């Protein structure tokens, strides 16, 4: 499933989706950037509450399919701008990371 279809099916709010064709596979949850760098796999939905510009760089380098901001978090201006130019998809949901992961798990099963 690509990122665009994923956003539609989950109903997560699309903050920006400059790379709609990225394949979505699996989930990684974490807020510490080096853990994400070391552990997230290509195509993962990365669920986090970290919304600063550095998450955009990490998503680019770790090849995640999208950043999913949990708990209703929204990116700051810098982060959003960088995401658009670097082709990083950002979604947002009022759900907790746990609830969001449950929802994704049902969909990707």
Contact positions toward another protein, by CB under 8 A? 31-35, 37-38, 42, 50, 52-55, 57-58, 60-63, 78, 86
To the nearest whole angstrom, how small is the minimum distance from the Cβ of residue 50 to another protein? 5
The angle formed by the CA atoms of residues 25, 7 and 17, to the nearest 5 degrees, is 95
* Secondary structure of residue 38 in the 3-state scheme: helix
Q: Of 55 and 89, which has the nearer Cβ to another protein? A: 55
To the nearest whole angstrom, how small is the minimum distance from the Cβ of residue 8 to another protein? 27
Query: Cα separation of 7 and 80, whole Å?
Result: 17
To the nearest whole angstrom, how small is the minimum distance from the Cβ of residue 70 to another protein? 14
Burial class (CB in 10 A: 0-12, 13-18, 19+), 88: buried
Q: Of 42 and 105, which has the nearer Cβ to another protein? A: 42
What count of other Cβ atoms lies within 10 Å of the Cβ of residue 28? 17
Query: Cα separation of 33 and 10, whole Å?
Result: 25
Q: Of 7 and 67, which has the nearer Cβ to another protein? A: 67
Q: Of 33 and 103, which has the nearer Cβ to another protein? A: 33
């Amino acid at each position: 499933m690509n990122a665009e279809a994923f956003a539609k099916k989950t109903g997560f709010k699309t903050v920006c989706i400059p790379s709609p064709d990225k394949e979505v596979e699996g989930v990684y949850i974490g807020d510490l950037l080096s853990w994400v760098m070391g552990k997230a796999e290509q195509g993962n939905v990365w669920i986090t509450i970290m919304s600063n510009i550095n998450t955009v760089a990490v998503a680019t380098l770790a090849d995640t399919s999208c950043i999913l901001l949990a708990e209703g978090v929204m990116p700051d201006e810098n982060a959003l701008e960088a995401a658009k130019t670097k082709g990083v998809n950002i979604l947002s949901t009022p759900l907790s990371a746990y609830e969001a992961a449950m929802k994704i798990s049902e969909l990707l099963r």
